[in-house]
Amino acid sequence: GAVVSQHPSWVICKSGTSVKIECRSLDFQATTMFWYRQFPKQSLMLMATSNEGSKATYEQGVEKDKFLINHASLTLSTLTVTSAHPEDSSFYICSAEREHFPGSYNEQFFGPGTRLTVL
């Protein structure tokens, strides 16, 4: 199966600092990647859709200036949490979409997640 990695797996930072999380598709190219946020014992909430070579599409209520997304290559998308605050503490999960063939079902492969704790 396809593999998606995230780095770092966990990070602790001070309030006011910025944190960058990387999402990589290791054995396939992904034009589209997704960033999710998961609160404890809750579901995944889609934050934004990351498109290679263009601006990300953010879901309603997600601040694009706070959560900067860069999809610079077909295998890498980054999420930067700027000026992090304790309420940004969460589990961030990315997924990468692999197209089987044009017009077919595109499966999303999920990374292992990054736990962010802001003190």
42 binds another protein, rule: CB under 8 A: yes
Q: Of 49, 27, 38, which is closest to residue 95 (Cα–Cα)?
A: 49
Phi, psi at residue 83, to the nearest 5°? 45, 60
Q: Are 69 and 79 in contact (CB under 8 A)?
A: yes
101 binds another protein, rule: CB under 8 A: no
Stretch that binds another protein, among 14-22, 63-71, 73-81, 107-115 (CB under 8 A): 107-115
11 binds another protein, rule: CB under 8 A: no
108 binds another protein, rule: CB under 8 A: yes
Give me the residues that bind another protein (CB under 8 A), please.
4, 6, 32, 34, 41-46, 49, 93, 95, 97, 105-113, 115
